[in-house]
Structure 1
Amino acid sequence: MILGKCPYCNGKVIAIKTTAHGKKVNLYTCENAKKEYDESESFVFTADSTCTFRVYSNVFLKWNKRSFSKYEMKKLLEEDQVIVRLHGRRGTSEYFKYVITDKEYGISILWDEEVSKKEEEEFLISS
């Protein structure tokens, strides 16, 4: 499934079902970001890779968000940022943060930027 254009090379970002640490997840990857196992069993980019954009759907598990959805990735690629709902350690508190693409990590949370109450309400209505 094609989700949009890569923010770095304008290639197609696709969703691939894969397994990471024994769990089934979606991998959102640029078609030009190819990886393989090398002789030391490390997962490395191939010699013909021209991009490094890759994001696993379970990227926010640390903040009790089970999955970064295809819809959220598509919106991020279209609008350069997306709002996500995260949860505290015990899952009782919730908070909203902006997510942007990041050259090194794929995506990053903007911890210092506050999402307005109006945007939170719009997010809750649309989800």
Structure 2
Amino acid sequence: MVLGKCPYCSGNVIAIKTIALGKKVNLYTCENAKKEHDESSQFVFSSDSTCTFRVYSNVFLKWNKRSFSKYEMKKLLEEEQIIVRLHGRRGTGEYFKYVITDKEYGVSILWDEEVSKKEEEEFLISS
């Protein structure tokens, strides 16, 4: 399934079902970001890979967000920045942060940018 254009090479970003750390997840990857196992069984980019854009759907699990959905990835590729809802350590409190694409990590949370109450309300209404 094509979700949009890669922010770095304009190739198609596709969703692939895979297993990471023993869990079924979606991998959102540029069609030009090809990986393979090398002789030491490490998973590395292949010699014909021309891009490195890859994001796993469990990327925000550390902040108690179970999945980064296909819809959220598609919206991020279209708008270059989206709001995500994250949760505190015990899953009790929630907070909202902006997310952008990142060349090295796939996506990054903008910790220093505050989401306004109005944008939080709009997010809650639209989701």
Q: TM-score range by the shorter chain?
A: over 0.9
* Count of residue pairs brought into register by the alignment: 127
Using structure 2 for the length normalisation, give the TM-score. Answer: 0.99
Task: Give the deviation of 1:110 after TM superposition.
Answer: 0.1
- SS of residue in 2 equivalent to 1:39: coil
For 2:82 and 2:18, locate their aligned partners in 1 and report how far apart those are by CA, in whole Å: 24
Which residue is equivalent to 2:76? 76
The residue type equivalent to 2:11 in the other structure is G
After TM superposition, list the pairs within 5 Å mapping 1:58-73 onto structure 2: 58-73=58-73
For 1:15 and 1:60, locate their aligned partners in 2 and report how far apart those are by CA, in whole Å: 17
Structure 2 unpaired stretches of 5+: none
Which residue is equivalent to 2:108? 108
For 2:10 and 2:117, locate their aligned partners in 1 and report how far apart those are by CA, in whole Å: 33
Which residue is equivalent to 2:9? 9
Structure 1 unpaired stretches of 5+: none
For residues 81-100 of structure 1, the C-alpha deviation after alignment (integer angstroms, 9 at most, x for no partner) is 01000000000000000000
Instruction: Flag as ranges the 4+ runs of structure 1 deviating above 2 A.
Output: none
- SS of residue in 1 equivalent to 2:97: strand
- SS of residue in 1 equivalent to 2:107: strand
- SS of residue in 2 equivalent to 1:8: coil
For residues 32-51 of structure 1, the C-alpha deviation after alignment (integer angstroms, 9 at most, x for no partner) is 00001111010000000000
- SS of residue in 2 equivalent to 1:82: strand
Give the percent of matched residue pairs that are identical in Structure 1 and Structure 2: 89
Task: Give the deviation of 1:9 after TM superposition.
Answer: 0.1
Which residue is equivalent to 1:48? 48
For 2:124 and 2:30, locate their aligned partners in 1 and report how far apart those are by CA, in whole Å: 29
